Amino acid sequence: MSSGNLQGSQTLIKPAFSEKEATELVERVFGLKVSAIRSLPSYDDQNFHVHVSRSEGTADCADEYVLKITNCEDSQNPELIEVQTQIMLFLNVEGFPSATPHLTKDGNIMSLESLGTGPVTKKYMVRLLTYLPGMTVATISTNPHILYEIGKLAARLDKTLAEKFHHPSIKSLHRGKFIWNLANVPLLEQYIHALGQNSYREVVEQVIQKFKDKIVPKLRNFRACINHGDLNDYNILLDSNTASPENPQYRVSGILDFSDMSYGYYVFELAITIMYMMIESKDPLSVGGHVLAGFESIVPLTTEEKDALFLLVSGRFSQSLVVASYTSLLYPENKEYLMITAKTGWKHLLRMFDMGQEAVEKIWFETAKAYMNNEPV
C-alpha cells in the first residue's frame, strides 16, 4: 500500500513507466545491465522485478532486484523515504530478513527521476532493492505454528525499532492524516460513498462510530512505537525448513514493503497482522489467538490494549475494504489487485460483527491463554 492522501489519487499519482523506460532507468541510474524485467502488482507505487547480468568487477552484485518507483505524491517527502530505507538497512543488520538498497552510480540510496515532458512532467523517487526469494503467506495453508511466529515477528520488529533505531529524520514518521495509520479510521467517512448504499456500508459506519467513541479517547493510554503497518499475507515471505512435503514447517524468510511505516502503537501492529492473517485462513476466527500468543511472548498487552483489539481489527478491515473500493474507482484497470482483500474480507468483518465482540474475544484470548499454560492448541 502507500499514499496516505487519497484525494491526491485523483491527479493519478501512480507512476506509469514502461518496461523499456524502467530498463533504461536501471542502467542509467544504477549502472547495471538488465537481462530481464517484468512488472509486479502494486497499489499506487510501481514495482518491477529486475534480473541483471553480472560483469567484471561486480562479483558481489545480486542477480535480482526490485525497482521501486514511489508515487509522485510520496516522492515529495524524501525524508520519509530516507527513514524507511534506513530502517530496512537497520533491521537487516538486526537479523530481520529485509531488502537493502543497491546504491546509485553516485553512491546514493535513491534518485529523483522525471517522466513526461513539459507541463505534464512528474518526479518520482526511485530505489533498487535486493530481491528476496520465498513464498508469500497467501500461497500456503497457514497453521498455528507459523501464525504464532508471525505474531512474534511483529512484536520483535516494533520493539527493536522502539528501543534501538535512531535517525535525524525519524519525526517524518509522524504522518498526521495518513489514511493507513490505524488511528485514522474516522477519515474513512470521506471515502465511504464508494461502497454505495448497502449492508457493507452500514457495518463500516458502525465501526467508525464505535472507533470514535471507544478508541480515539483511549489512544493516549496505548504504548507508542513505530509500526511497519502492513504485515499482510503478501508482505511476509516464508521458506520451508523440512524435506517433508506432507508436513512442511515454515519460517519467515523475508519482510517486504516498508512504505506504510508510521508512528503508532504496539496494539496497532498486532491488530493489523491479525486482520491480514485472517484473509486467507480456512478458520479465520481462530487466527487472532495464535497471532496474539506470539505477539505477547514478546510484548504482553495491557488490559486497555486487549479491550481495544476487536475494534482495531474491525477498523483495519474497514480501512482496507473502503480504500480498495474508492481506489478501484480511480484505477479500474488495477481493480483485481486492489480488491484482493475484498474477496473474503467482507465475509470476515460481517461474521465478526454478527458474533459480537465478547464471543470473538473469547476465542482469541482462550487460545492465547492455552499457549501460556503449555496446553495443546
**pLDDT at position 57 over 70:** no
Mean pLDDT for the stretch of residues 260-288: 96
Cα torsion angle, 214, 215, 219, 221, sign = positive
Cα of first residue to Cα of last residue in the chain, in angstroms, is 33
Supply φ then ψ for residue 176, to 5 degrees: 55, -105
Query: Cell numbers at residue 366, please?
Result: 482462550
Residue 15, SS3 per DSSP? coil
* pLDDT greater at residue 299 or residue 376: 299
Question: pLDDT tens across 139-161, in order?
Answer: 999 999 999 999 999 999 999 99
**pLDDT at position 343 over 60:** yes
What local confidence, expressed as pLDDT, does residue 203 receive?
A: 96
Question: pLDDT tens across 281-300, in order?
Answer: 989 999 999 999 999 999 99
What local confidence, expressed as pLDDT, does residue 10 receive?
A: 38
What local confidence, expressed as pLDDT, does residue 6 receive?
A: 61
Question: pLDDT tens across 78-121, in order?
Answer: 999 999 999 999 999 999 999 999 999 999 999 999 887 667 78
**pLDDT at position 27 over 70:** yes
What does DSSP assign to residue 223? Answer: P
Q: Which of 16-20, 242-246, 339-343, 347-351 has the lowest mean pLDDT?
A: 242-246
Q: How far is CA 223 from the centre of its chain?
A: 20
Pairing, β 135-136 against β 236-240: antiparallel
Question: pLDDT tens across 197-215, in order?
Answer: 889 999 999 999 999 999 9
Supply φ then ψ for residue 310, to 5 degrees: -60, -45
**pLDDT at position 360 over 90:** yes
Confidence band, pLDDT 50/70/90 cuts, at residue 325:
very high
Average model confidence (pLDDT) across the chain = 91
Q: How far apart are CA 169 and CA 181, in angstroms?
A: 19
Pairing, β 224-227 against β 262-265: antiparallel
Burial 80-116 (b: 16+ CB within 10 A, else e): bbbbbbbbbebbeeeebbbbbbbebeeeebbbebebe
Angle between helices 303-330 and 284-296 (to 10 degrees): 130
CB atoms within 10 A of CB 46: 20
Identified catalytic residue from 74, 158, 230, 233: 230
CB atoms within 10 A of CB 247: 8
**pLDDT at position 137 over 60:** yes
Confidence band, pLDDT 50/70/90 cuts, at residue 8:
very low
Q: Which residue has the cell 534480473?
A: 51
Instruction: Give this prediction's pTM.
Output: 0.92
Burial of residue 222 (CB within 10 Å: 0-12, 13-18, 19+) is buried
Question: pLDDT tens across 218-240, in order?
Answer: 999 999 999 999 999 999 999 98
Residue from 342, 314, 351, 328 nearest 210 by CA: 314
Residue from 297, 262, 337 nearest 150 by CA: 297
Q: How far apart are CA 333 and CA 44, in angstroms?
A: 12
DSSP letters spanning 36-86: EEEEE--SSSEEEEEEEE--TT-TT--SEEEEEE--TTGGG-HHHHHHHHH
What local confidence, expressed as pLDDT, does residue 117 receive?
A: 63
230 is catalytic: yes
